[in-house]
Amino acid sequence: MDSTLEYRKIKPLIGTEILADKAGLLSGVHAGEIRRLLEETGVLVFPKIDFTDAEQIAFTTTLGKFAKELKGEEIYKVSLDKGQNATAEYLKGAFFWHIDGTMSPMPILASLLASKVRAPEGGDTDFCNTYAAYDALSDDDKTLLAGKRAVHTLASSQLEVDPQPSLAKYREWRAYGKNELPLVWTHRSGRRSLVIGNTAHHVVGMDPLESEELLIRLRDHATQPEFYYRHVWADGDAVMWDNTGTMHRATPYALDCGRMLHRTKLEGEEPFAA
């Protein structure tokens, strides 16, 4: 089988469209090049590849160690229908920029979403490259961020959805704990990326208002057009992103429209590190 991978860059700093056929992807012959492109451009699009669940699992496994869900499931149903997903309420936080796994010392490496039911309107997925965003910071900002750490909490992400929760609800969110992480992740490769998003509650040691301003400024910087890609879903599309160097969010859609994506994940290979 030809090991040459056909692909097309979507934007200079983010996004690559993979044009290989399904047989080539499932064979694993392209795995090394796919992983290289994933790290380089953050997001890979497999247009209308139409994976079955079994094929999605098999393809994900070619790229690294497969990560199961909390209850051992191999497929996670990304749906706001509580009949399909018991954690649907928490998924509303996904309408805001975030990185998966900020409550864990070892975040997942990557996720792969496959479109099953599209929203009639909206329901796109936005991505931004936090490697490229860090690289584009001024030297003064890089000096400012060096050594700084932020506290991440589930409560912070849920307050975006419900800014005035009951005390009981807030305590439920707080029970998930907190995690202190560097604002800049220095990877084993030597590259650096920003660790921000809606789980970031505050920067340690800063005045609360100055902390909030810094986090907003970094988010606005990271989501500028040159670092940003919006995927408008078509039937059968699959999209994979490097969770260690991108943020993502869903765009608004009707909560009862039946939108459904199936997700698989790769286990993390390195912890957050300053």
Residue that is written with structure tokens 């790290």 in the block: 39
pLDDT at 48: 97
Residue that is written with structure tokens 């993390």 in the block: 268
**Is 248 an active-site residue?**
yes
E-strand stretches of the chain: 7-9, 16-18, 43-46, 66-67, 76-78, 110-117, 125-129, 149-153, 178-182, 184-186, 192-194, 200-203, 228-231, 238-242, 246-250, 260-266
Does any domain span residue 272? no
- Per-residue pLDDT tens digits for 187-202: 999 999 999 999 999 9
- Per-residue pLDDT tens digits for 223-272: 999 999 999 999 999 999 999 999 999 999 998 899 999 999 999 999 99
Other Cβ atoms within 10 Å of 94 Cβ, number: 18
Residues in contact with 156: Cβ distance below 8 Å, sequence separation at least 6, in sequence order: 198, 199, 200, 201
pLDDT at 1: 59
Q: Distance (Å, rounded) from C-alpha 5 to C-alpha 23?
A: 12
Maximum Cα interatomic distance, the chain, rounded to a whole number of Å: 60
Please, what is the average pLDDT of the chain? 96
Find out whether 186 and 192 touch, Cβ atoms under 8 Å.
yes
Does any domain span residue 64? yes
Query: Pick the catalytic residue: 152, 201, 248, 259?
Result: 248
Domain span holding position 70? 7-266
- Per-residue pLDDT tens digits for 100-122: 999 998 999 999 999 999 999 99
Q: Distance (Å, rounded) from C-alpha 213 to C-alpha 208?
A: 9
pTM summary value: 0.95
- Say how many domains are in the chain: 1
pLDDT band at 82 (very low <50, low <70, confident <90, very high): confident
What CATH number does residue 35 fall under?
3.60.130.10
Q: Distance (Å, rounded) from C-alpha 92 to C-alpha 105?
A: 23
pLDDT at 70: 84
pLDDT band at 83 (very low <50, low <70, confident <90, very high): confident
Does any domain span residue 212? yes
Query: Pick the catalytic residue: 98, 201, 221, 262?
Result: 98
Does any domain span residue 36? yes
**Is 221 an active-site residue?**
no
Does any domain span residue 44? yes
Query: Pick the catalytic residue: 149, 187, 191, 263?
Result: 263
E-strand stretches of 74-218: 76-78, 110-117, 125-129, 149-153, 178-182, 184-186, 192-194, 200-203
- Per-residue pLDDT tens digits for 43-63: 999 999 999 999 999 999 999
Does any domain span residue 2? no
Does any domain span residue 200? yes
Residues facing 152 on adjacent strands: 179, 200
Query: Pick the catalytic residue: 30, 100, 152, 237?
Result: 100
Position 145, amino acid: L
Does any domain span residue 273? no
- Per-residue pLDDT tens digits for 5-30: 999 999 999 999 999 999 999 999 99
pLDDT at 255: 85
Per-residue buried b or exposed e for 57-84, using 16+ beta carbons within 10 Å of the residue's own CB: bbbbbbbbeebeeeeeebebbbbbeeee
**Is 230 an active-site residue?**
no
